[in-house]
């Protein structure tokens, strides 16, 4: 299974290759052997492919803040279900990954959002997940409200994407 993280502003796909004797992660097209020793005060010794780093780590919700070798890095973990819920078909059509009910709508029409921004919380089969924006843009319409039910593939939110500088 692949997981998606936003690391220092860049979306990165990571897949565990081995969890046996050592943790090996496929990050992009490269494999990295990772070992770490985490202390209660946030200090962490991190070993990446045999290179040792003294670091600090703190967590705030889905965000992980790292200080490695004097550099600060923000890492945001994305739940695979939320990415599926936020996947787009066409420009900015956020569709339901499964039938369910809306728990909470977190944006309003006219709001500017960035890719990965939380749009709403949904529940399906007693499991709550977050629907996220699939692109940067402006929320043009919201097809559901808190408490409303929806079917698989229903459009939940429409986002009008911002044109890239090369399109202008």
This prediction has a pTM of 0.46
pLDDT at residue 18 in the model: 73
Q: Are 33 and 22 in contact (CB under 8 A)?
A: yes
CA distance 135 to 116: 7
- Please, what are the domains in the chain? 3-78 (3.30.700.30), 80-161 (2.40.50.100)
| pLDDT level of residue 89 (50, 70, 90 thresholds) | very low
Per-residue pLDDT of 150-167, as tens digits, reads: 888 888 999 987 654 544
Query: What integer is the mean pLDDT of 44-71?
Result: 85
Q: Is the pLDDT of residue 86 over 70?
A: no
Query: What integer is the mean pLDDT of 119-148?
Result: 87
Rounded to a whole number of angstroms, the distance between the first and last alpha carbons of the chain is 38
- DSSP class of 81: H
CA distance 119 to 130: 7
């Amino acid at each position: 299974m692949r997981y998606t993280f936003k690391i220092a502003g860049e979306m990165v796909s990571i897949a565990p290759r081995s969890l046996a004797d050592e943790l090996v992660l496929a990050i992009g097209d490269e494999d990295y052997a990772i070992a770490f020793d985490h202390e209660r005060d946030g200090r962490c010794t991190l070993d990446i492919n045999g290179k040792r780093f003294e670091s600090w780590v703190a967590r705030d919700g889905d965000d992980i803040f790292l200080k490695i070798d004097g550099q600060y890095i923000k890492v945001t973990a994305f739940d695979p279900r939320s990415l599926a819920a936020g996947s787009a078909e066409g420009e900015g059509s956020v569709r339901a990954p499964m039938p369910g009910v809306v728990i909470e709508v977190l944006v309003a029409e006219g709001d500017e959002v960035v890719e990965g921004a939380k749009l709403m919380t949904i529940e399906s089969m007693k499991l709550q997940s977050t629907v996220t924006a699939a692109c940067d843009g402006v929320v043009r319409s919201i097809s559901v409200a808190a408490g409303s039910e929806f079917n698989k593939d229903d459009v939940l939110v429409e986002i009008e994407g911002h044109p890239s500088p090369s399109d202008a």
